[in-house]
Chains A and B, each alone.
Chain A
């Protein structure tokens, strides 16, 4: 039975410890509140204001910003119609994010498995090799893909040289280009949490599975995947969330034609001159992402029962 009667000295010590914890964390919290969390509140406010004639906002309350997400005012009939352009963009964002997540998983899982099953010295090297692209500037990586798939890029040059095609493939500025770009850029984000989960996995369980007549496929499906599930979920979230909010990759590889939510948001603050709409879109994106994160937390905690 736990002793629930602490001495007064112990209780005071715990209180001091908590106070120190808060004091030490305070500076970081202040900076984060000022430049990360706090500004979000302003966005919420702006989403409920009226758009100014030349951008920015006017101080009147309005729900036009939120309504603008799905409907636009038809300039001829002055009524609200579904904003097809927006819907296309939302659909593209969701579609590409899902595709990217799945592709990075299919490619990333064997990669993570490979790294995790190397002998320790080699494993450090492979980890280093997968981390370099991870920390390389996003812009550089997106540009690198551009260099490969554009009309005079590496891929077309190689294919034409070999004689497979006679004219360059129009890959750049398509959905495919953005998809390839995002998969390329986010692959390390899937591999690393998968690696962490597989690294913790007790490899002797594999021997036990084979000892009990499982085939290699059964071992993968019935033993490995269920146990590394938290890693799979983590990797999926780490890819899906940035994919949904992608800005640089669709801008460089989509060329302004294949917009995703991020680009649509930017547009409202530039030519679109609709700051409230931009604010509303930002908040919507944030809400969707937060829901996905909560889903992850719940799924991850649900796995704790058989850690």
Chain B
């Protein structure tokens, strides 16, 4: 039987496996979302479509508390880590390689190379010591911990954008009598901005999602949304968890869409 088209890139079975993979990736998530609208508690019974669980979650004081804390930490961590990452990116790209640059690079990416549980335990011990010695508690420890592991996530898109920048633009600015600071403020930074915002969003999402490190560093009553959910999973599960999960999912998708639009290759 004659094959009407020859495609050099077609490998037998690959498209099927890919489609199955996509299905397998999304079915569990979609199940979660769908059942957040189920009025019945168990999956076996399908009741009516309802937003009751969302209402319950919203009315839940613990959930509100945890959400607020999550957003606060994520916001602060995103701002701090993005600022530090931007400076580090400016310091490590587009200049002649200097001694120790590899060291800086390794340090910046260190959170990506260490299993979270190890960092979590280390921070728990260190911060525990500091808490006993100074008696200072509060959100600061979590913010510090999050800022640290968010740095590499903010760094990568900023660095990518910086490296893709046309060097001749800054040369042109200098040709037109701009000082180094003016060049940075009026040329480099504006063009870099999409990368910076992308990095900030990535940092925000990563902080919002963190479970392990937060779980070990937090003091009692300092739940974030993920640690609250983790606690709930030890007990009787209700679709309230589904509702919260769907909410978080929407935030992630929204941020991701914005991220994709920002990092599109055409400007």
B249 contacts which of A136, A153, A269 (Cβ < 8 Å)? A136
Tell me the nearest residue of chain B to A260, going by C-beta: B117
| Given contacts A113-B14, A203-B8, A21 and B29 within 8 Å (CB-CB) | no
Tell me the nearest residue of chain B to A191, going by C-beta: B21
A108 contact set on B, CB distance < 8 A = 21
Q: A18-B96, A25-B108, A27-B84 are in contact. List 14 more A-B contacts (CB 8 A).
A: A17-B98, A24-B87, A28-B87, A31-B147, A35-B147, A110-B17, A140-B248, A148-B31, A152-B43, A184-B24, A216-B12, A242-B116, A261-B117, A275-B125
Pairwise interchain contact A139-B27, C-beta atoms closer than 8 A = no
B113 contact set on A, CB distance < 8 A = 241, 289-290, 293
Q: Which of A152-169 contact B (CB under 8 A)?
A: 152-154, 157
| Given contacts A135-B252, A140-B32, A282-B118, A114 and B88 within 8 Å (CB-CB) | no
Interface residue? B100 (CB, 8 A): yes
Ranked nearest first, the 5 interchain pairs of A and B with the lowest CB-CB distance are A245-B115, A24-B91, A114-B18, A18-B98, A39-B122
A242 contact set on B, CB distance < 8 A = 115-116
Interface residue? B72 (CB, 8 A): no
Interface string of A200-225 (1 = CB under 8 A from B): 00010011001000001000100000
Interface residue? A12 (CB, 8 A): no
Q: How far is the CA of A31 from the CA of B84 in the complex (A)?
A: 9
Pairwise interchain contact A22-B100, C-beta atoms closer than 8 A = yes
How many whole Å from B66's CB to the nearest CB in chain A? 13
| Given contacts A25-B88, A111-B22, A220 and B11 within 8 Å (CB-CB) | yes
Interface string of B5-32 (1 = CB under 8 A from A): 0001111111101111110111111011
Pairwise interchain contact A262-B9, C-beta atoms closer than 8 A = no
Interface residue? B171 (CB, 8 A): no
Q: How far is the CA of A105 from the CA of B201 in the complex (A)?
A: 29
Pairwise interchain contact A28-B117, C-beta atoms closer than 8 A = no
How many whole Å from B101's CB to the nearest CB in chain A? 7
Pairwise interchain contact B31-A147, C-beta atoms closer than 8 A = yes
Q: How far is the CA of A31 from the CA of B150 in the complex (A)?
A: 11
| Given contacts A38-B126, A107-B21, A128-B260, A152 and B42 within 8 Å (CB-CB) | yes
Tell me the nearest residue of chain A to B85, going by C-beta: A28
How many whole Å from B77's CB to the nearest CB in chain A? 11
Interface string of B180-217 (1 = CB under 8 A from A): 00000000000000000000000001001101100010
Interface residue? B37 (CB, 8 A): no
Interface residue? B44 (CB, 8 A): yes
| Given contacts A144-B32, A210-B8, A184 and B144 within 8 Å (CB-CB) | no
A171 contact set on B, CB distance < 8 A = none
Pairwise interchain contact B25-A21, C-beta atoms closer than 8 A = no
Interface string of A124-157 (1 = CB under 8 A from B): 1000111111011111110111111000111001
Q: Which of B219-234 contact A (CB under 8 A)?
A: 226, 229-230, 233
Pairwise interchain contact A130-B8, C-beta atoms closer than 8 A = no
Interface residue? B35 (CB, 8 A): yes
Interface string of A251-289 (1 = CB under 8 A from B): 110000000011001100100000100110011011001
Q: How far is the CA of A187 from the CA of B22 in the complex (A)?
A: 10
Q: Assign chain A's interface to a size class.
A: 35 or more
Interface residue? A8 (CB, 8 A): no
Interface residue? A37 (CB, 8 A): yes
Of residues B90, B125, B233, which shows the largest number of chain A Cβ atoms within 10 Å of its Cβ?
B125
Q: How far is the CA of A282 from the CA of B117 in the complex (A)?
A: 8
Interface residue? A43 (CB, 8 A): yes
| Given contacts A28-B87, A43-B122, A203-B9, A36 and B32 within 8 Å (CB-CB) | no
Pairwise interchain contact B115-A39, C-beta atoms closer than 8 A = no
How many whole Å from B46's CB to the nearest CB in chain A? 10
Tell me the nearest residue of chain A to B217, going by C-beta: A35
Tell me the nearest residue of chain A to B21, going by C-beta: A111
Q: How far is the CA of A36 from the CA of B10 in the complex (A)?
A: 45
10 A-B pairs whose Cβ atoms sit less than 8 Å apart in the complex = A24-B88, A29-B104, A35-B145, A43-B118, A137-B245, A144-B29, A147-B28, A206-B8, A262-B117, A269-B124
How many whole Å from B87's CB to the nearest CB in chain A? 5
Interface residue? B52 (CB, 8 A): no
How many whole Å from B139's CB to the nearest CB in chain A? 14
Interface residue? B107 (CB, 8 A): yes
Q: Which of A1-60 contact B (CB under 8 A)?
A: 14, 17-18, 20-25, 27-29, 31-40, 42-43, 46
Interface residue? B176 (CB, 8 A): no
Interface residue? B238 (CB, 8 A): no
Q: Which of B228-267 contact A (CB under 8 A)?
A: 229-230, 233, 241-242, 245, 248-249, 252-253, 255-257, 260, 264
Interface residue? A244 (CB, 8 A): yes
Pairwise interchain contact B91-A25, C-beta atoms closer than 8 A = yes
